[in-house]
Amino acid sequence: MNSFDEFLAMGGYGFYVWTSYGIAFVVLLLNVVLPMMQRKQFLRELALKQKRAK
């Protein structure tokens, strides 16, 4: 437990290190998740249009 606390503390630089990793993680995750959601939405709209056209 003690060593895990030390790990999180990063020798006193915990705030800078973890904020860096956190921001990178969120930005990179959004870059993959947003286009996937966008594609699902777009395909749903196209399917609806095609049904109406029939």
Instruction: Please give the residue ranges that form the binding site for another protein (CB under 8 A).
Output: 7, 10-13, 16-17, 19-21, 23-24, 27-28, 30-32, 35-36, 38-39, 42-43, 46-47, 50-51
Least distance to another protein from the beta carbon of 5, Å? Answer: 13
53 and 45 Cβ atoms separated by less than 8 Å: no
Closer of 1 and 36 to another protein (Cβ): 36
Least distance to another protein from the beta carbon of 41, Å? Answer: 9
Contacts of 10 (CB under 8 A, 6+ apart): 16, 17, 18
Angle at 33 between CA 31 and CA 35, to 5 degrees: 75
